[in-house]
Every structure is written in structure tokens, then in C-alpha cells.
Amino acid sequence: MAASIYDVIVVGAGSVGTPAAMYLAEKGLKVLCLDQFSSPGQGSNKAAIGGLRATHSAPAKIKLCLDSIKTFSTWKEKHGFDIEWFQGGYVFVAYRAEEVKVLQDLLVIQKQAGLNIEWYDKDALLKLVPGLSAEGLIGGTFSPEDGSASPMLSNCAFHKRAVELGVAFRFNERVTSIMRRKGVVVGVRTDKGGHATGCVVNAAGAWAKALAQSGGQDAPVNPDCHEAGITEPAARFLNPMLVDIRREPGSANYYFHQSAIGQVLFCITPDPPIIGSDRRETSSYLPMVARRMVGLMPKLTNLKVRRTWRGLYPNTPDGSPIVGRSKTLEGYINAVGMCGQGYMLGPGVGALVARLVTNTLTKDDEEILHELRPDREFAGTEALK
């Protein structure tokens, strides 16, 4: 095959695509990153509330997020760009025996995967988070090395670094199909022309399924809608991200944290899921999440909410990403189905994709890719998705 104009084309300049392009360029490859929107991170990335945790129940996600946290936590020191990294940790609370069992059972898996996490009883947790409602509290887990950052600033930082490394970005250009010849990728066609390459990375987030199908591939990624909000700033009163996994009518887990500049950001998981790609906010979201948040931390009562918004979670049937090469189309790589956790998984997945493309995988990489392989059986679901 003739030499490609680009070594790799990454489709999507969001939470996964931008760091993937950056890491591929660090490996010395000629990279083009295409995005249908007008600038980096305008798909689902801008809807993220900034939480960065390795506190998962699947070993692959734990390892990838530990890698991501290294990137976020050292970015300012290495590159001089403040992305509002704040290492406050994550707390998963337990007010019922059901949550105690789930969280304590997961500690074994989490520690085996390298996560620094411990169980805190009621008194210890109230010292760590003084504003928690004490009534009925049993305890919870705390992972101190988790944290948060600004999705907008970090994606901007990754984009800036990628450009410095020579990545070409083309915005307002939608990929309409993956071009292939005799089972091999030869380029992409867009609404503005075409580009030649022997390697395409699908990092299209909520739009990944259509892109995969354009190349004769299957990607069982279907978005659902989640809403988030932000308050006015306040003096620091909360260090960790708080996560409550109890289910109530209309909602599953919800979570919130205080950003580096003092605003409280919050999100809730609808139950049943709201399938689709409608990004218009609703009137039902704020009353639902506010009641649950104030019940967990009463001091939130008087904080004013500045705005709410809606984003898309590109979900897979088992709640874990799909990462790896296609077995039927040479040169096609999946980096899709982050299930609303693309922001925290992005740098880890991006670096893994770069090692995959350049055949520099480690033993850990091989294990991660086996767990997240595109042709796996999608059975069960990740406990902390």
C-alpha cells in the first residue's frame, strides 16, 4: 500500500480523542484529528463536572484512571498550564447494609488493581467530611488520590500540547465514512473532502456507533442523557467528591464536589435511563437532585444554583469501554463507549492507544485490552458505573 498522508487519523477532539492525538504525536507519528464541532471538547467533554477517580470496580478502568490521574496531577508542573487540579479524593457513602456490602466487597478488587482506598467508619467519615448528615450513616470508602480538574482547561491544555507536537486539527468537519479497500483502512471521507491514512482511531464519543457502521463495524454504544449543574462559589467547605449510590424513584446514584474555585458541581443518574441524544435541560432535574443533595449535606440548602445543562453518556451494555483493534478491518481502532467517564479515562486510554499503534504495549496493557476487547461478551455491568 502507498504511504499514507497521515500515520493516524483520530476522529473526535474530546475527552479521549485530544489526549490520544497528543500521545500519538509524542510517539513521532503524523496525526490528524477531525471533529464535527467548532473547537476542542464541544461534544460531551464540556458537559463533564470534572471528577477524576480511579475508584471503579473493573480492574481495567482502575488502571487506566490511575494513569490519567498521573497526567492531570502533574500537568501544571510539567507544562506550566493550570488546569485547576484539586486532589480532594472521593468518598462513597453508605447509609444502608446493601451499600456497605457493595463497597466493602469491592475493596479487594480495588486494592489488587493498585488503588489507594480504605473503609472509614461513621466517626472517621464525619471527621473527614464534617457536613455529612450523621443520621443513619454507617461509613464509606475514601480514596485520597482521586480529585478533580476543569474539563475546559484540561482539554484546552491537551489541544495546545498536541498542536505543539505537530498534530493537525480540523474542526467543523464531520467524518461521513471510513474508506476501506480489501479489508484495510485507506482513509476517511468527510463533508469537506477526504484524507488518506492507514489507521483510524474512533474516539467519537456519543457519535461513535455511526462512525463504526460507516466502516462496516459494530460498536454497541448508545447514548443516554444526564443533567448537571453548578452553584455560585463559596469558601472551601468540601474536599472530596461525594457519591451516594442509593437508588430512589426516578434516579440512581448522584455525586457532587466543590471545584478549585469554590463552586459546587453536581450530577444525577436518571433511572430508568433517558435514551437518546437530546441535550436540552429539563425542569424535573434540579428539584430531584437538590432534594437528595441537601438530605446528604444540609449546609448546601442556601447555595444558589447558577445554571444546569445536559450531556450524553455513550454507554455500552456492560458499562465498560471498548478499546482495541478490529479483527475484521485492518487499521481500525476503537476507543469508544466511555459510559460518561471519558474525562477521567481519556489520558489513560489515549496513552494506551498510542502504545497500541506503535506496538509498544506492556503486560498491563495486554490485560487491559483483553478486558475491554471489542469482541467480548457484554455480560453483567460494572458496579460503580
CA–CA dist 67, 328 (Å, integer): 30
- The pairing of beta strand 175-181 with beta strand 51-52: unpaired
- The set of cell numbers assigned to 181 is 479497500
Is the residue at 59 inside a domain?
A: no
What pLDDT does 2 receive?
40
Residues 357 and 264 in one domain: no
State the first-to-last Cα distance of the chain, in angstroms, to the nearest integer.
Answer: 42
Residues 285 and 360 in one domain: no
What pLDDT does 1 receive?
34
pLDDT in tens, the chain (385 residues): 344 599 999 999 999 999 999 999 999 999 999 999 999 999 999 999 999 999 999 999 999 999 999 999 999 999 999 999 999 999 999 999 999 999 999 999 999 999 999 999 999 999 999 999 999 999 999 999 999 999 999 999 999 999 999 999 999 999 999 999 999 999 999 999 999 999 999 999 999 999 999 999 999 999 999 999 999 999 999 999 999 999 999 999 999 999 989 999 999 999 999 999 999 988 899 999 999 999 999 999 999 999 999 999 999 999 999 999 999 999 999 999 999 999 999 999 999 999 999 999 999 999 999 999 999 998 777 777 6
What pLDDT does 4 receive?
57
Residues 228 and 291 in one domain: yes
Is the residue at 306 inside a domain?
A: yes
CB-CB contact of 361 with 355 (8 Å): yes
Residues 133 and 229 in one domain: yes
Residues 280 and 355 in one domain: no
Residues 162 and 201 in one domain: yes
Residues 364 and 234 in one domain: no
Is the residue at 71 inside a domain?
A: no
Residues 157 and 302 in one domain: no
CA–CA dist 240, 134 (Å, integer): 17
Domain final position from 276, 295, 315: 315
Residues in the chain: 385
Is the residue at 35 inside a domain?
A: yes
Residues 269 and 306 in one domain: yes
Is the residue at 70 inside a domain?
A: no
What CATH number corresponds to the domain at position 366? 3.50.50.60
Domain final position from 315, 331, 361: 315
What pLDDT does 379 receive?
78
**Total count of domains within the chain:** 2
Question: Packing angle between helix 59-79 and helix 363-371, nearest 10 degrees?
Answer: 130
Nearest to 68 by CA among 347, 385, 358: 347
Residues 234 and 186 in one domain: no
CB-CB contact of 258 with 236 (8 Å): yes
Residue 1: other Cβ atoms inside 10 A: 11
CA–CA dist 154, 68 (Å, integer): 12
Is the residue at 214 inside a domain?
A: yes
Q: Is the pTM here over 0.85, yes or no?
A: yes
Question: Packing angle between helix 342-357 and helix 363-371, nearest 10 degrees?
Answer: 120
What CATH number corresponds to the domain at position 228? 3.30.9.10
Helix H segments across the chain?
17-26, 59-79, 97-112, 122-128, 151-164, 208-214, 285-296, 342-357, 363-371
Question: Between the CA of residue 128 and those of 144, 237, 300, what are the distances in Å?
Answer: 11, 11, 17
Is the residue at 29 inside a domain?
A: yes
Domain final position from 280, 315, 350: 315
Residues 308 and 159 in one domain: no
Residue numbers of the domain that contains 361: 8-50+152-220+318-371
Residues 109 and 258 in one domain: yes
Is the residue at 1 inside a domain?
A: no
